[in-house]
Amino acid sequence: MKKVESYDKILGIEEKEYIIKDYVENYLSLKEICKKYNIGSKEWVRKLLGNKIRSFSDSGKIAHKKYPNSFKLSEEAKNKIRKARLEWMKEHPEQTAWRTKNMSYPEKCFKKILEDNGLDKKYLIYREFSVFPYFIDYAFVNEKLAVEIDGSQHLEKNRKEKDKAKDKLLIENGWRILRITATEVMHNKEYVINVLLGMLGKQDITYEKVGILKAPKTREKAVRGEDGLTDKQRKNAYNSRKVKERPSKEDLWKLVSKKSFTEIGKIFNVSGASIKKWCKNYNLPYLKKDIDEINGIIHGYEKHNEKCAYCGKEFVSHRNGNVFCRMECYKNYIKEFGLYNKSQRKHSNFFIYKVNEDGSFINKRVAKEEIDFYIKRGWIRGRKLN
């Protein structure tokens, strides 16, 4: 790639004018200009254009006009986004854009009507009061009066059907409904206050808590299933699983009876402990000895007659090199003779080995203080290699 300064010498005045013309009039992008004129640096083009460079938003508008198909979503993608958005709005009703932002102008006018007539000092009024799954614009809670301020969008057929369903639910819950158009709220305030006072009636009741308040966040009680989980928790648990579809009980048993849990775990990209859990869920044996017993496999361990190095008692062991009959003898031996413990053995460079009757051998790392102890019992100093 050439240096930025070199393009000033290579490209003439006419070519520079063509570049500016293509960018400003023909709406070519920086990338397209670099490709057309074989320029390897966008910095030089930016420097040449100077204050003619487009903003990010202007570039986006031009790209939408030039390549409209690149920005179109398929119907499947649109439906997916729509469903996800509706689900989020249902779960977070108080965080939707129109709930968190300021009130509309007609709602502000209605609030001013209430304050000018002193109704905010007499009644407890909530804005955006929730009656799941709907919200009331202004709710006189103690009087159970719902005031709805309807704009022009409420004249649409679909919106009318939704309003009817909302009214039906509110009436079933004991609410009275007053629907006022936005035009009346803004231009006929006397009519609005007269209708409102008529609905409220003459009351001498005084409440401790009054005013126009933002309705508190309401949270619907979660419905839990037999497993004690909600639908959302169950869905999250399923999505967090590494394996979405587990093998059937029969297929899992075939694998378990032939392979170890670790080998099966590698097939499904999970741990061996996860395979054990699957066996528990299917009521299958999850211990290797139980599985081998069902398959008729009997494990025979070679037993050795040993003599305890501390108490001198004879005992039977299936471990090679086991010289203590119990843990207490091992601990007492360490206290008296000061043998090296396991953590210190890891850093030791002293090795011993023992040859078995079949010609095989065992290498062992021991502490310096332990060498004599093992040599007396038939071990040989050093390390035997193949």
In this structure, the answer to whether residues 55 and 152 fall within a common structural domain is no
Each residue's pLDDT tens digit, 294-329: 887 766 666 778 888 788 888 887 766 677 888 888
How far is CA 145 from its chain centroid? 41
Using pLDDT thresholds of 50, 70 and 90, give the confidence band for residue 147.
Answer: very high
Q: Are residues 28 and 127 in the same domain?
A: no
pLDDT, tens digit (0-9, with 9 covering 90-100), for 212-270? 776 666 666 677 887 778 888 888 877 777 676 788 889 999 888 888 888 988 888 88
- How confident is residue 340, by pLDDT bands cut at 50, 70 and 90? very low
Residue 80 is assigned to a structural domain of this protein: no
Do residues 62 and 111 both lie within one domain?
no
- The confidence score (pLDDT) of residue 100 equals 45
Q: Per residue, what are the HEC states of 109-178?
A: HHHHHHHHCCHHHCCEEEEEEEECCEEEEEEECCCCEEEEEECHHHHCHHHHHHHHHHHHHHHHCCCEEE
Q: Note whether 114 and 172 are same-domain residues.
A: yes
Domain range for 30 is 6-69
Structural domain ending residue among the three candidates 46, 69, 92: 69
Same domain, 111 and 207: yes
Q: What is the pLDDT of residues 41-84, one digit of tens each?
A: 788 888 888 888 888 888 888 888 888 887 788 888 888 888 88
Q: State the pTM of this model.
A: 0.35
Report if residue 1 sits inside a domain. no
pLDDT of residue 176: 92
155 vs 146: CA distance, rounded Å:
19
Among 196, 214, 232, the domain-final residue is: 214
pLDDT: is 93 or 31 the higher one? 31
Does 131 lie in the same domain as 193?
yes
The closest alpha carbon to 364, from 352, 380, 378, belongs to 352
Segment 152-208, tens digit of pLDDT? 888 888 888 989 999 999 999 999 999 999 888 888 888 888 888 888 876 655 566
The answer as to whether 41 is a domain residue is yes
Same domain, residue pair 131 and 64 = no
- 24: in domain: yes
Q: Examine the domain organization and report whether 201 and 127 are in the same domain.
A: yes
Total of domains in the chain: 3
Pair (65, 108) in one structural domain: no
In a domain, 131, yes or no: yes
CATH number of domain containing 151: 3.40.960.10
**Rounded to whole angstroms, how far apart are CA atoms 278 and 295?**
19
64 and 150 assigned to the same domain: no
Partners of 212 in the β-ladder: 125
The pLDDT assigned to 342 comes to 60
- Which of 16, 49, 69 is at the close of a domain? 69
Question: Whose CA is closest to 370, among 385, 348, 386, 355?
Answer: 348
| Residues 112 and 35 grouped into a single domain | no
Residue 239: how many CB atoms within 10 A of its CB?
8
How many whole angstroms separate alpha carbon 336 and alpha carbon 227? 57
Q: Is residue 385 part of a domain?
A: yes
Q: Residue 376: inside a domain, yes or no?
A: yes
Residue 148 included in any domain: yes
